[in-house]
A and B are shown apart, each in its own frame.
Chain A
Amino acid sequence: MNRALWLWGILFALWLLLSGHFETLFIVFGLVTCTVAVWVSVRMGVVDRESMPVHLLGRAVAYVPWLVWEVFKSNVRVARIILSPRMRLDPSIVHFRASQATDLGRFIYANSITLTPGTVTTGVTGDDMEVHAIVQSEIDGSEENDMNRRVAVLEGKDPK
């Protein structure tokens, strides 16, 4: 129920921001539309922990800036590789163990790995992450362990 309210609030905020109209008629249209959309979503059973992960919202405030900084650092690293006259590539497929408890946590971890250039998640089987890395020697696991730990914290699990 709480999640349905969150969904309604987000939808209505989007309605107001994207339309830019604040006349009574349009606001009433928005109220009705959002209510119907939320009612249909609840009936379909698609409003759950995975589609509306509002329980992560507070901790995501700490995770997202860290992730953006990581993305920036690895962008610079890949740019240096591409711009160097002799590209020092050593591409290979490596495996990491994900310590997240939920599918949502693993999804966030896999997407975070892919979002940082230089590493792309090619497959997830259980807690095994199959990752293609552009330079294997730079992937010693320390940065990925850090990311793994932070995503585990994000999903609310005590890090080991």
Chain B
Amino acid sequence: MEMAVTALTWVLLMAGAFFLLTGALGMVRLPDVFTRMHAAGMTDTMGAGLILAGLLVHTLAGGGDLAAVPVRLLLILGFLWFTSPIATHATAKAALSGGVRPFTLAGEGSGAREPAPGEAFSAGQSGEREGGATS
């Protein structure tokens, strides 16, 4: 029994770590802020969720005060799942209204920020690095 609990804890923790790592990899590989947000969403939902689930199994099986740790873990998970989509939405909205054109395969948006009228724009910011990621 104790063996099974330990195994389940490990599986959940490793699965959570896998999603965290994949999300981090996505932050590097994906071409622009909008696609990267989807990778960030993975770390928020499954990465954090599975790790908290693993800790929950561990603390529930360990006995002890139910109020001390498991309830807090559930509260953390609840707050995280309620607030992270709002933060993601705010980021997306800010990027859109800040003039960032989403990267598309057709190539009309490079993922780089459009220069505002009259604003000096250096060549280094022109999104060649980002736009070339999947072409």
The interface of chain A, by Cβ under 8 A from chain B, is 16-18, 20, 68, 71-72, 75, 78-79, 82-83, 86-87, 89-93, 110-112, 114-123, 132, 134
Identify 11 new A-B residue pairs, CB closer than 8 A, beyond the known A78-B39, A82-B29, A91-B102: A18-B72, A75-B46, A83-B22, A86-B134, A91-B32, A91-B35, A114-B88, A115-B85, A118-B41, A120-B34, A134-B38
Q: Is the CB of B31 within 8 A of A89?
A: yes
Q: Is the CB of A75 within 8 A of B65?
A: no
A-B pairs under 8 A by CB, number: 109
Chain B residues near A68 (CB, 8 Å)?
A: 49
Q: Is the CB of A114 within 8 A of B85?
A: yes
Q: CA separation between A18 and B71, bound complex, in Å?
A: 8
- Asked if B105 lies at the interface with its beta carbon under 8 angstroms from chain A, I say yes
Total interface residues on B, using CB and 8 Å?
A: 41
Q: Is the CB of A83 within 8 A of B25?
A: yes
Q: Is the CB of A122 within 8 A of B96?
A: yes
- Asked if B5 lies at the interface with its beta carbon under 8 angstroms from chain A, I say no
User: Which one of B34, B41, B88 has the highest number of Cβ atoms from chain A below 10 Å of its Cβ?
Assistant: B41
Closest to A87 in B: B134
Q: Is the CB of B102 within 8 A of A78?
A: no
Q: Is the CB of A17 within 8 A of B92?
A: no
Q: How far is the CB of B128 from chain A (nearest CB, A)?
A: 17
Q: How far is the CB of B90 from chain A (nearest CB, A)?
A: 10
Q: CA separation between A116 and B41, bound complex, in Å?
A: 8
Which B residues from 32 to 78 make CB contacts under 8 A with A?
A: 32, 34-35, 37-39, 41-42, 45-46, 49, 65, 67-68, 71-72
Chain A residues near B6 (CB, 8 Å)?
A: none
Residue of B22, B46, B49, B103 near A91 (CB, 8 A) is B103
Chain A residues near B125 (CB, 8 Å)?
A: none
The 5 A-B residue pairs with the shortest CB-CB distance, nearest first, are: A114-B85, A117-B41, A82-B26, A75-B46, A111-B85
